Amino acid sequence: SNVMVISESLAEEAGLTVGDTLTLPSADGTTDFTVVGRITSRSLPGVEEVYVPLAAAQSLFDQPGLVNTMEAVYRPEADRAVVEAAVQSRLGDGFKLGQLEAGTALLANMQVATIAINLFGVMALVMGGFIIFNTFRTVVAERRHDIGLLRSVGAARRTILALILTESVLQGVIGTAVGIVAGYLLILGFLGLLGSLYEQFLHFSIGGPVLRWPIFAAAIALGVGVTIVGAIAPALAASRVTPLEALRPATSEGYRRAAGRSGLVGVVLVILAMATLASGNAGLVTLGGVLFVLGLVLVAPALIDPIARLFGRLLVIAFAREGQIAQGNLVRQPGRAAVTASAMMVGLAILVAMVGVMTSITDGFLGYLDRSLGADYLFMPTSIILAGGNAGAGPELAAAIGTTSGIEAVTTLRLATTETGGKALQLVGIDPATYPAVSGLVFTAGDEATIYDGLAGGRAIVVNGIFAAQNQVKVGETLPLQTPEGVREYEVVGVGMDYLNAKLATAYVSQANLAQDFHQTADLLLMANRAAGADGQQVGAALTKVAAGYPAFTLFDSSSWRATQEEIFTQALVVFHMMLVFLAAPSLIALVNTLVINVLERTREIGMMRAVGATRRQVQRLILAESLLLAATGTAFGILAGLWLSYTLTSAMTAAGFPLPYYFPYVGILFTIAVGLLFGVLASLLPARQAAKLDIVTALRYE
């Protein structure tokens, strides 16, 4: 009876052959099986399949006489729809017809990771668009005289437009090619960092990068497309300039009027962004964050003058003469300064926002851990995800723990799956009497003082935030659940969540209802508290002996378990901070770009300064002062936008079913200020050196 067929991969990994014995965890502790065959089969990554007789499986999981899956094959001449209707009629509503659903927990984690990666990608594209726009805008301004000459000798507007757009296509192609190569190298780096995590928690190795043609098509379309989009506005502006306007020196009056109009639009967008917070809708709250950033971008040109004067006064303390000149140069070119500050704002805002969000997520989820898994001792299954193929234990394990000297209270978690309204739902069974004494859920709706009594009193259910948000479920509503006994109605008495099941649509019912309606009695996770005054070392040693008989579980004390989870967050933050560096780096490029063009445009002016006695060191200090002034302006906008974004994203996650406390990102602000000032110094090195090396005679002849 206790025989099995194993996969080739498991046989190779464990060194098994036909006739060997493999011991599996079971509800009674362990069960020995004899290997009688090998097949080439493997299910999800990191999960091995073994095949045993049905009776052995029922004994293994303490499900005597029960089945949870039946497979059938149609006859060749059968009508699929007719057969399905007949089978469903015979079986009743307690069974669902369809394909097997596997890997729900893994897919949920992958979806969360995909959303995070896509968010970084959108931010990177927005920042790249700002830099490209700034580049072409300054290039058009620098070539204003040349454009006027072309127009005066007969060049049509579409010729000017085509000229600039052609340049954008060429730059987009070159940049995309370099980006694809750099992206491939980044993939290799990230896979190297994530490999150990996958080995540790999913038990499989990551191969090399898998790149298909849609990935390259998307990269090319986005790379070239964003470059063209960033160049369209400067190209249109250049094509609309008349020959006389282009040959005449530019005035600032037109710019001030345009800045005033854009500033009013920006103020309206900021007000709308603030209003979205009251909606409580995750989509609207996220849209509000985007509107706030766009509003600041539009308001920036109107604020450049007062901000430049404010920081200019501070700059004069360190650079007495150069600071005044730098302030004048910034005010004289407010459009370019505003675009550069906006590009820096986006990059630095991401720093503040992401640090704030990650701090909120880390502290929030560790708070969930302390509340729902804060017991003194944890008997954890092999997979941290309860539905990850774990073998539960019978009541003997909980009884053995409860009778251990020095243990005050024990509680367990059990698991079942169901469906309501066509949506899959994971059910966690808790004991309403012992669970709140040892652990507890974090509630966002319902009266915590009466919720556990409600669970003990009838068919009551607590849903977690993600299920409530996705299905608009509220306290007091009734959910029809599919059970092996047919449809059963459960009343929602609260919305709450625990640490392990935050990312999956999960609900909590009493273990009595789970046994009655779903026939699930195996314990998948056990928690125990030590009695006051008990010796921790002695209790731990006694529990270790108990755990030895149940290899499906690992014994942790609360401090060591929390440490392992903090290590996971720390490793994830390493990858996260690397991504932040890549997102912030373009801000430095934008700043260098602006300063280099400033030096080119003011070549003759710098030559005159040198001719009347300015030293090379003074010219370098001038460029440094201007760079610091631009960096300070961008940093101020970035901190303001980042604070709002971090609060918005945290609010959006709360609205989406992940209630998180908002933590003010002090570290993020200090780090952003340091990065902003560092960028200001680094960005000035090349332009300052270039300006200081200008030959006086050559500079005076420059046109």
Nearest one of 312, 310, 311, 332 to 321, comparing CA atoms: 312
Q: Are strands 506-510 and 486-497 parallel, antiparallel or unpaired?
A: unpaired
Distance separating alpha carbons of residues 544 and 621, to the nearest angstrom: 68
Helices (H), 92-202: 104-142, 144-152, 157-201
pLDDT for 360 beyond 70: yes
Distance separating alpha carbons of residues 495 and 273, to the nearest angstrom: 28
Q: Could you please report the per-residue DSSP string of 7-40?
A: EHHHHHHHT--TT-EEEEEETTEEEEEEEEEEES
Distance separating alpha carbons of residues 588 and 638, to the nearest angstrom: 13
Distance separating alpha carbons of residues 624 and 440, to the nearest angstrom: 57
Helices (H), 602-665: 603-611, 616-655
Region 286-293: mean pLDDT is 75
**What is residue 388's three-state secondary structure?**
coil
Distance separating alpha carbons of residues 281 and 517, to the nearest angstrom: 35
Q: Which residue has the tokens 């392992």?
A: 564
Where does the pLDDT of residue 587 fall: very low under 50, low under 70, confident under 90, or very high at 90 and above? low
Distance separating alpha carbons of residues 298 and 293, to the nearest angstrom: 9
Range ranked top by mean pLDDT from 103-117, 513-527, 579-593: 513-527
Distance separating alpha carbons of residues 502 and 507, to the nearest angstrom: 11
Q: Catalogue the long-range contacts made by 571-578 (C-beta closer than 8 Å, 24 or more residues apart).
A: 571/193, 571/196, 571/197, 573/358, 573/362, 574/193, 575/190, 575/193, 575/194, 576/354, 576/358, 578/189, 578/193
Region 157-181: mean pLDDT is 89
Of 351 and 186, the structure prediction assigns the larger pLDDT to 186
**pLDDT above 90: percentage of residues in the chain:** 11
Where does the pLDDT of residue 387 fall: very low under 50, low under 70, confident under 90, or very high at 90 and above? low
Range ranked top by mean pLDDT from 52-61, 259-268, 551-560: 52-61
HEC sequence for 133-159: HHHHHHHHHHCHHHHHHHHHCCCCHHH
Where does the pLDDT of residue 52 fall: very low under 50, low under 70, confident under 90, or very high at 90 and above? very high
Task: Burial-class residue 28 by CB neighbours within 10 Å (0-12, 13-18, 19+).
Answer: middle
Where does the pLDDT of residue 34 fall: very low under 50, low under 70, confident under 90, or very high at 90 and above? very high
What pLDDT is recorded for position 42?
A: 58
Strands (DSSP E) contained in 306-463 are: 377-381, 407-420, 423-430, 442-445, 460-463
What pLDDT is recorded for position 246?
A: 60
What pLDDT is recorded for position 504?
A: 79
Q: Which two tokens stand for residue 111?
A: 């979806």
Where does the pLDDT of residue 14 fall: very low under 50, low under 70, confident under 90, or very high at 90 and above? confident
Q: Helix 603-611 crosses helix 616-655 at what angle (to 10 degrees)?
A: 140
Cβ atoms of 658 and 502 within 8 Å: the answer is yes
Model pTM?
Answer: 0.69
Region 354-380: mean pLDDT is 80
pLDDT for 703 beyond 70: no
Region 517-531: mean pLDDT is 89
What pLDDT is recorded for position 119?
A: 66
Range ranked top by mean pLDDT from 157-161, 512-516, 669-673, 688-692: 512-516
Cβ atoms of 561 and 380 within 8 Å: the answer is yes
Residue 412 β-bridge partners: 526
Of 469 and 130, the structure prediction assigns the larger pLDDT to 469
What pLDDT is recorded for position 699?
A: 63
What pLDDT is recorded for position 280?
A: 64
Work out the mean pLDDT of the chain and round it to a whole number: 79
428-456 pLDDT, tens digit each: 999 998 998 888 888 888 888 889 988 98
- Please enumerate in sequence order all residues whose Cβ is within 8 A of that of 146, keeping only pairs 6 or more positions apart, or say none: none
Cβ atoms of 379 and 547 within 8 Å: the answer is yes
Nearest one of 676, 68, 146, 123 to 354, comparing CA atoms: 123
| Helix, strand, coil tally for the chain in percent (to 5) | 65, 15, 25
Where does the pLDDT of residue 177 fall: very low under 50, low under 70, confident under 90, or very high at 90 and above? very high
Nearest one of 254, 346, 362 to 589, comparing CA atoms: 346
Distance separating alpha carbons of residues 559 and 547, to the nearest angstrom: 18
H or E element, residue 596: helix 558-601
Nearest one of 346, 351, 332, 251 to 629, comparing CA atoms: 332
Region 103-113: mean pLDDT is 59
Region 93-121: mean pLDDT is 64
What pLDDT is recorded for position 106?
A: 56
Residues in the chain: 703
Region 669-675: mean pLDDT is 81
594-629 pLDDT, tens digit each: 677 767 666 777 778 778 777 788 777 778 877 787
Where does the pLDDT of residue 36 fall: very low under 50, low under 70, confident under 90, or very high at 90 and above? very high
Where does the pLDDT of residue 352 fall: very low under 50, low under 70, confident under 90, or very high at 90 and above? confident
What pLDDT is recorded for position 174?
A: 92
Cβ atoms of 93 and 482 within 8 Å: the answer is yes
297-319 pLDDT, tens digit each: 777 777 776 776 777 677 666 66
130-139, 471-480, 595-604, range with the lowest pLDDT: 595-604
Distance separating alpha carbons of residues 225 and 213, to the nearest angstrom: 17
- The Cα diameter of the chain in Å comes to 101
What pLDDT is recorded for position 410?
A: 92
Nearest one of 271, 282, 327 to 469, comparing CA atoms: 282
What pLDDT is recorded for position 462?
A: 92
What pLDDT is recorded for position 386?
A: 56
* CA quadruple 664, 665, 666, 670: dihedral, nearest 10: -150
